[in-house]
Amino acid sequence: MSKARFEIIFDPDAVKGYEKLDNSVVNIVDNAINRLEERADEIGKDLSNYQNTKLAGCKEIKLRSAGVRIIFKVTDQIVNILQVVYVLTIDRRDKEQVFRNANKRYQNFKTNPRKAIKAGKYSVRINKSE
């Protein structure tokens, strides 16, 4: 495993989504989060603005085998050599609901990114094994 280049910070509601996941998919999600730590700027699909959701600047990872989407934003908040990846939502792949949740959290994030990152700071790790 290569060295982490990104610090992962979870929206408090994304932590709740993670904790609700079925145990059969937690390892798949953890592996995706590990990939984010190493390559968040290289992976994921860029999202766009639509009528009901404004997620331009965010990315998504679809974990089809787990039926989960992770929507995240790579920020320019520098922490030593790390950039911050702000995970907006981890949720079942119900297309409309996951994007509505992410949109709401992203709008809050855009209003005050430092406050949003500080609020989510307590959940940088979600009981993941190192």
Q: Give the CATH number, domain containing residue 27.
A: 3.30.2310.20
pTM: predicted TM-score of the whole model, two decimal places:
0.73
pLDDT of residue 104: 84
Distance CA(35)–CA(6), nearest Å, equals 10
Are the CB atoms for 76 and 46 separated by under 8 Å? no
Q: Domain limits at 22? A: 6-123
Has residue 130 been placed in a domain?
A: no
Per cent of the chain over pLDDT 90 is 12
Q: How many domains does the chain have?
A: 1
Instruction: Judge whether 128 lies within some domain.
Output: no
Say which residue, 78 or 4, is predicted with more confidence. Answer: 4
Tens-digit pLDDT profile for residues 46-68: 989 888 888 898 899 988 888 88
For residue 48, count CB atoms less than 10 angstroms from its CB and return exposed for 0-12, middle for 13-18, buried for 19 or more. Answer: exposed
Q: What pLDDT shows up at residue 32?
A: 92
Residue 14 in contact with residue 104, Cβ under 8 Å? no
Residue 45: band (very low, low, confident or very high) from pLDDT cuts 50, 70, 90: very high
* pLDDT tier for residue 106 given thresholds of 50, 70 and 90: confident
* Structure confidence at residue 77 (pLDDT): 66
Look at residue 124 in the predicted model and tell me its pLDDT: 44
85 falls within a domain = yes
The answer as to whether 10 is a domain residue is yes
